[in-house]
Amino acid sequence: MYIIAGIVIAIVLLFVALTYNKLIQLRNKVKEAFSTMDVYLKKRYDLIPSLVEVVKGYAKHETDTLQNVTKMRSEAKQGNLADAIHGEMKISDALKSIFVVVESYPELKANTNFLDLQGKLSRMEEEIAFSRRYYNGSVRAYNNQCQMFPFNLIASIFGFSTLPMYEVENTKERNVVNVKLS
């Protein structure tokens, strides 16, 4: 009787230990994924002031747009993980507004410094998109583990909670674009 109870207790303890270790492993993978994305975001941050300066030289009356991008850049690194994700989405929207402004200045679009910065920023955005996918995959695996029975019991006991996905906030970006050729 005591042997059976001991075996059951040992199995339960083994399950708890294995589940706890798996949750730690998945949480660390999420941190690694965010850290990787953060490296690319930092590189993008470093490109923004140069881009703003080049655009300023041509688009002097667009100061509100340029100041907004600079403001978003300084605010993005503040707060927790969810705030950082939200801040990054705002920066992406602000950068899009710069490129809308640029469309009004053909001489700027032909400037080699601008073209170089635009190319670097484009490559950086591709790397950020790739790292977002990796981050979201890591978060999905972690969140599944935290929410699925019986692992959710161990997760709640040890204070593991779900983490936010990196999602599109602007619902207009989710809509299907109709392309009409004349």
- What is the pLDDT at residue 64? 59
Q: Is the peptide bond before 106 cis (omega within 30 degrees of 0)?
A: no
Q: How far apart are CA 142 and CA 162, in angstroms?
A: 7
Phi, psi of 150 (to 5 degrees): -95, 0
Angle at the Cα of 123 from the Cα atoms of 173 and 119, rounded to 5 degrees: 100
What single-letter DSSP state applies at residue 114? H
CA distance linking residue 20 with residue 151, whole number of Å: 9
Q: Would you state the pLDDT for residue 39?
A: 86
| Largest interatomic CA distance in the chain | 87
Listed residue (18, 73, 16) closest to 50, CA to CA: 73
Q: For residue 181, what pLDDT is reported?
A: 36
Which fold is adopted by the domain 2-165? de novo design (two linked rop proteins) (1.20.1440)
Give the Cα separation of 76 and 83 in Å (integer): 8
Which of the residues in the chain have pLDDT under 50? 61, 173-182
Amino acid at site 165: M
Q: What is the pLDDT of residue 68?
A: 64
d(CA 124, CA 118): 10
- Give the start-to-end residue ranges of the domains of the chain: 2-165
Question: How much is the pLDDT for 60?
Answer: 58
- pLDDT at position 43 is 83
Amino acid 88: pLDDT = 74
Q: Which amino acid is at 135?
A: Y
Whether residue 146 contacts residue 161, with contact meaning beta carbons closer than 8 Å, is answered with yes
Number of neighbours of residue 129 by Cβ within 10 angstroms: 12
CB 47 within 8 A of CB 121: yes
